[in-house]
């Protein structure tokens, strides 16, 4: 099937996609901060440069976009043009995500992934972040 956007418009649209400070990431950051947790952002010395790093708790949170990291919800669509390129790209993203998580766990970090679609329900997100970080906080007073 032919892409409904021109090549130039598709390129422009994709160039607008940010890797940091995305809306879902900002939602998770506000929730974590509101719960009293303090964190560092995008530490380059850790595999995958996690979005939020809680050094005292040895915990990290990745905030993944459903489209780019293949969550499986309705946002994880596949473009209809250049499908082979996109499928290969998505597969590499998922493999890299899994490797980064394994590397972090091997270094003794706890890892949580929060999906873009999960940031819409603030109460559920708040419980999820609270549960994840409180478990570690209780273990490391």
CATH numeric code, 18-139: 3.40.960.10
Residue 14 is predicted with a pLDDT of 67
- Rounding to the nearest 10 degrees, give the CA dihedral for residues 63, 20, 32, 117: -40
Residue 25 is predicted with a pLDDT of 96
User: What are the tens digits of pLDDT across the range 96-111?
Assistant: 999 999 999 999 999 9
Residue 39 is predicted with a pLDDT of 97
Outline where DSSP puts E strands in the chain.
40-41, 52-54, 59-64, 110-115
CB atoms within 10 A of CB 61: 25
> pTM of the entire structure?
0.85
| Distance of alpha carbon 141 from alpha carbon 137, whole angstroms | 6
The residue assigned the tokens 């418009």 is 9
What are the extents of the domains in the chain? 18-139
Residue 136 is predicted with a pLDDT of 63
């Amino acid at each position: 099937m032919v892409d409904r956007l021109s090549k130039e418009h598709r390129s422009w649209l994709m160039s607008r996609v940010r890797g940091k400070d995305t809306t879902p990431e900002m939602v998770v950051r506000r929730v974590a901060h509101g719960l009293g947790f303090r964190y560092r952002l995008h530490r380059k010395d850790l595999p995958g440069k996690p979005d939020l790093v809680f050094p005292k708790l040895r915990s990290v949170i990745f905030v993944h976009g459903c489209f780019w990291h293949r969550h499986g919800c309705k946002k994880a669509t596949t473009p209809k043009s250049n499908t082979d390129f996109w499928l290969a790209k998505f597969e590499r993203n998922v493999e890299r995500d899994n490797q980064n998580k394994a590397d972090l766990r091997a270094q003794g970090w706890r890892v949580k992934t929060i999906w873009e679609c999960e940031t819409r329900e603030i109460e559920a997100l708040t419980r999820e972040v609270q549960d994840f970080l409180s478990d570690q906080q209780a273990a490391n007073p």
